[in-house]
A and B are shown apart, each in its own frame.
Chain A
């Protein structure tokens, strides 16, 4: 049916109509998550008196900040057309390393995990960019490898490293400013920087180009392989940093954390309007996606009678809706 439309459109009109449709589609893509988030927040505020309180909002923000940092890196990876399944394990590893290294002081607690997690990201990036292996496989190996490393450090999880009670490192995750936790500020700051990096630097443009058409990017003289490596490095660093924040907040490195976190991150990115096939996306959308997941979880907790497991069901439903809408939007355009 669509085909006949394509055939019969007269010349001058469709370009304009097409461009208007294009603008609408772009708008839906970019701000859809924000609109849904606003809607959910308004409805929840009306229904649950305990929802629109400063305390509750603070809780949602703090809880979302860790996923947000992980999802930020994932946004870059997915825009290049890749995927990073290792972030959940890397997140947990970062936390354990931070707790372990905190015995030597605050700075090692920050730098040791970043170095190790960055190295994991770098290695994955090199394998993906230079050997042509599928990101899915390489980062699946990364997921298993990082989890294994973590088990080795903690002796199969038997050792839980605690952060010394007097360590300045605890301030990072537990400190507050105007009643809002540092992790929230840090996440917002990182998203600001991430937005600038993506939209206003040559690296960011190259990320879009690599995801949009890596052949064209290569023909236009962009260093495609280097861009990929940098992107996985960034993702590893951010996942590790989120782990560090979490360890500081919990005062310990919890080994069982982060299982399935990669899927939450991917869900948040996709709900935020980033195309899973790459080439388009925004960090602000990802932030909305993360908050939406956080709010859904919070609301389900508000409904005391509902099993909190239903959170995943609702999140999954959202994901399906978003992907269906995205597919419809982009199929329409591909048929031209």
Chain B
């Protein structure tokens, strides 16, 4: 291998309470397309942020073009030639394509004015090289997302990039746009530009990348040629499970038998949403925990959000025999569904309010008469749930922000439970909670299901999923690739389902 253009040597980075990167190394040669993979919390984004100057490493060094470098801010990294293409296009949508491409470095006439004609001509030429034929005078936002992504890429390369970091560039692209993007990536690599490619879509990695580095829990667990690593091995490296074991046991065939003869309370049929969900169908029965499994980006959270109407999607959702025609979170709540979102800080808890206020928030309408909220009834309910869920707070009046993550989660749970839901959707209920509280929340989920509640559990933690769920629906790339029930619910079976070659048509 020739002299690497980017050489990360033993980099560590610690955040309060967690070692995000632990002695991680990464070398990328000119012209190489290097895949960087790992599940949530593996340290990918921390590593990217160190490369682009957002964070500084606590230990270790980054060498760029043979010299140790320490970028103070993203601009410095960019000026040195390390460009980043983010998932969301970082350009100005209202400005024209050409002006976006040349912003800050517009060609100028002798008078110092922008030479618009030349700018438009050169922009069209540059984009044509990547197969983008558009009217460059149109505002950027009139282009498809793929074309916008390409403009971002063209801009990155035009500012003389030696390394382009692409963070899930295809997550919002059409298949056709993905093809164009890949063509451009290959051309760039042909010109000697190194590319660090982050994606959860295994198919893409195998199409595009030369080598791969796998991170897990902040450590590098593997670096090597991608072609020498089959899908199953790659997944088991990412998830940290034994590949040989998975292969030996294999799949005993997807069980078609119905564990419960209970009538499903929730029927989801053919749930679809452009780019994200493709015909997802499954049932959820009362008294059962149904797990949604899959890698990050497989559409787990999107499925749950679509079911409760927080995300628009086509398809049928039937709750307790009644088909929900106009789906909205309010309608879902009325139908007896409750969902705990993944990001409880952003989407759930109101940190400034007390435990009591947070709990009764959703139940307000049922607790009030003529708009007056009965305090006595509030106190009774709050007291019941604090005991039942074992919420550890000094008093109901303590601010929720002062509680631990586990107790915050229980407060959220209490909020929904006091609406007496019949179906509970939990998206990563134990993320960011310490081990002890985790077990408690898990036990609670079990109890609730035993009480006859139907539970949908989303978790990236395979162990949690396997132990918690009675039945698992495995998703990949927005489609159901398997359903496991009873004895078939094992980590190995999930991984095998995930590693299947995609069915090409």
Out of B93, B99, B104, B274, which one reaches A213, CB within 8 Å? B93
Check if B128 is an interface residue, CB within 8 A of chain A.
no
Check if B74 is an interface residue, CB within 8 A of chain A.
yes
Once the chains bind, are A3 and B312 in contact (CB under 8 Å)?
A: yes
Which chain B residue shows the least CB distance to A20? B142
Check if B351 is an interface residue, CB within 8 A of chain A.
no
Check if A19 is an interface residue, CB within 8 A of chain B.
yes
Check if A7 is an interface residue, CB within 8 A of chain B.
yes
How many angstroms between the C-alpha atoms of A208 and B144 in the bound complex?
A: 21
How many angstroms between the C-alpha atoms of A219 and B82 in the bound complex?
A: 12
Once the chains bind, are B78 and A221 in contact (CB under 8 Å)?
A: yes
Which chain B residue shows the least CB distance to A8? B314
Interface residues on B, range: 20 to 34
Which chain B residue shows the least CB distance to A275? B94
Check if A209 is an interface residue, CB within 8 A of chain B.
yes
With contacts A22-B139, A200-B113, A222-B103 known, is A216 near B92, CB below 8 A? yes
Measured CB to CB, the closest approach of chain A to B216, in angstroms, equals 30
Q: Give the chain B neighbours of A206 by CB distance below 8 A.
A: 103-104
Measured CB to CB, the closest approach of chain A to B177, in angstroms, equals 10
Check if A307 is an interface residue, CB within 8 A of chain B.
no
Once the chains bind, are B95 and A202 in contact (CB under 8 Å)?
A: no
Out of B114, B116, B155, which one reaches A202, CB within 8 Å? B114
Once the chains bind, are A201 and B104 in contact (CB under 8 Å)?
A: no
Measured CB to CB, the closest approach of chain B to A208, in angstroms, equals 5
Out of A3, A26, A208, A219, which one reaches B95, CB within 8 Å? A208
Once the chains bind, are B135 and A7 in contact (CB under 8 Å)?
A: no
Check if B141 is an interface residue, CB within 8 A of chain A.
yes
Q: Give the chain A neighbours of B103 by CB distance below 8 A.
A: 205-206, 209, 217, 220, 222
Q: Give the chain A neighbours of B314 by CB distance below 8 A.
A: 7
Out of A201, A209, A221, A275, which one reaches B113, CB within 8 Å? A201
How many angstroms between the C-alpha atoms of A333 and B140 in the bound complex?
A: 12
With contacts A196-B113, A212-B94 known, is A221 near B75, CB below 8 A? yes
Interface SS, A side = helix
How many angstroms between the C-alpha atoms of A199 and B112 in the bound complex?
A: 12
Out of A15, A201, A215, A280, which one reaches B94, CB within 8 Å? A280
How many angstroms between the C-alpha atoms of A202 and B107 in the bound complex?
A: 10
Check if A11 is an interface residue, CB within 8 A of chain B.
yes
Once the chains bind, are A200 and B114 in contact (CB under 8 Å)?
A: yes
Measured CB to CB, the closest approach of chain A to B213, in angstroms, equals 25
Check if A18 is an interface residue, CB within 8 A of chain B.
yes
Check if B331 is an interface residue, CB within 8 A of chain A.
no
Q: Give the chain B neighbours of A220 by CB distance below 8 A.
A: 90-91, 103-104, 155
Once the chains bind, are A221 and B90 in contact (CB under 8 Å)?
A: no
- In A1-35, which residues have CB < 8 Å from any B CB? 3, 7, 11, 15, 18-19, 22-23, 26
* 9 residue pairs, one from A and one from B, having the closest CB atoms: A212-B92, A200-B113, A22-B142, A279-B94, A212-B94, A216-B90, A200-B114, A209-B92, A280-B94
In the complex, besides A209-B103, A213-B90, A279-B92, 7 extra interface pairs with C-beta distance below 8 angstroms are A22-B142, A202-B108, A205-B99, A205-B114, A208-B94, A216-B90, A219-B74
Write 25 A-B pairs (CB below 8 A) sorted by A numbering: A3-B312, A7-B274, A7-B314, A11-B174, A15-B142, A19-B138, A19-B142, A22-B138, A23-B138, A200-B114, A201-B114, A202-B104, A202-B108, A205-B95, A205-B106, A205-B114, A206-B104, A213-B92, A215-B90, A220-B155, A221-B75, A221-B78, A222-B104, A279-B94, A280-B94
**Measuring CB to CB, which residues of chain A are less than 8 angstroms from any residue of chain B?**
3, 7, 11, 15, 18-19, 22-23, 26, 196, 199-202, 205-206, 208-209, 212-213, 215-217, 219-222, 275, 279-280, 333, 336
